[in-house]
Chains A and B, each alone.
Chain A
């Protein structure tokens, strides 16, 4: 079975392993702590949104915080009990800062909520199973806490050539994956097969370092028993072979291109812990509420691995492993190479905590004072990413950010191999981290200043336009009254003297038309804005109301609406700009030209509208598809939207087709049709609003049926929604009426 070729990567180091200490005792099961602290950011991406309030009773496994954005994840109650606080607590973070946490006081009963396993997952659609994994709050348990659903879905970007299970666990001291493999071999194999099915990988490889013979034997045995095709590849022990990119190089000989993900070259990497969590989520319906963590270090009398509930304070675990307070000198989350120190033991275990290292002074002595870099090049020989650490240090010290970036600072994986071998004890990794964040800050500042510039310029343009419009209106009024006077006085055929007034008259006709279009655009913008607000409100409501399934759809709507709004605004700006510039070019001779100008405008607008409408159709189609995937309840609404949008697009295209061949346009028709188009778009928007309101009512009704206990609030909501609906409908009616009117007048 170990026939596969093992490649090698540049550099790497061989620190003392120190893995045996924590493997002496069997897997421990600490008691329930007095309280569980559950940070809302246990993963990369945005913090989750709490679903519970202080005083709520929750059952074990019940969701207590919801996914809030693409890279976010759900969070579940690790045990049954009462929510006592939602407040800022110190979290496991290198900064030692606090963050928002849900505090749960266990009632000791460990009452499980209703578990929903997916026994028939093989028959289900992959997306369904993946969304189930998302609902169970599974994130990558190896390091960064990347939400598993995102990773699995990302694997479809390219056909998978390799599916790698990371069991290398190369950091000294840590044995949690080792223990996990030994304890849950069967679950692991089933979990791997589950993931394999989900990502449709032909070949699965488990990469494991050769310093875990017991785990290798257990895996081999189980794989033979299961008659599994999973390949087990033993790689030589070298730090950092457990790094995702390094393991991929070891097993496939391929390198993940800089700035890309393994999925971009058809490789997927999953940690063993994630596989077991996936197994438990699908086979048993258990959300991710506990994990195996190594407690080790010389300050502990009983170093061991423990199966611990998320949120358990570190202090509780240290006590469990019999900590000698006086010995403790450094408390590290993670291993000695990449872990970070803690200020206090009050911080909780999170989904990604694989090790707690309570070291004494002798074990991890304080680093020697930093000396000058003599460019000895030992770091270069150790760097697994083939960087030039000494040059990077030089640039970091002098804050030459561009050069540091040029020397590929961002390919640094912060493994610490360079600092480990540095004879001058330079905290290289800290320099790199600082420089990386400086570069990121600079980039953010650049983006922000760009944005500010845009907004400033947009504002200036708007102010100018407003001023110009006012001026134009004033002029128009003046001239209109003047021309009226002229007309009443002289009704005779046009003479030389009337030439001027003709100019004025035509001007006054053209100007209001352009003003009309701008006005309408403005109305559109206003409507768009209010709609956006509504959608945002709905999103917030959805998040508040725990309607997990709506959130992503609504997020999509919001962004869509924002885009549409931006388009409208630019259109408006264009129209406004076009307005004052057009005037002076008008002469009495080219009145046809003049007439054409608004017509062309209208035509252009119609075209843009058509394009927007088409884009909308596409977007809604996409939304529909996604909604169908997620089986969201608002599918109907979206379908209706889609139909509307399609209809609208067709209409627009028809309109577009009709006037364009008529080369000599009359003065009014296109302008009026533009007006009609605006009206039509308003009508459409209102229609959508109506549809949305209806959908909302439907949903609320559903909820009313499903949860009669909060009937009161729901029915109130329904009432409100109905009111909205009525309003929207009446608005729609008036709009349609005005549309008819305008058609008649034309």
Chain B
């Protein structure tokens, strides 16, 4: 481990991705779940940029740039849904949202 290799970045990325996933699975606050999804997107970016760095290509960086843009777009719509729902239900607890089932 004397030199910096892609393995470092990929490990970091995997760790971030899985922490984000755990957050989605465990947390009950919709906003926190939303933040965890952003965390997962970010982890993917780390992978992309790590691969780009390793392969001397800019494709990965470009891809990451677009992911950031898309994440912003998703954030806008997602927060819109969350706000509208919290207005009706007066809660952001995901476990309270289960009228549709079976």
- Whether both chains belong to one complex is answered with no
A residues adjacent to B (C-beta < 8 A): none
B residues adjacent to A (C-beta < 8 A): none
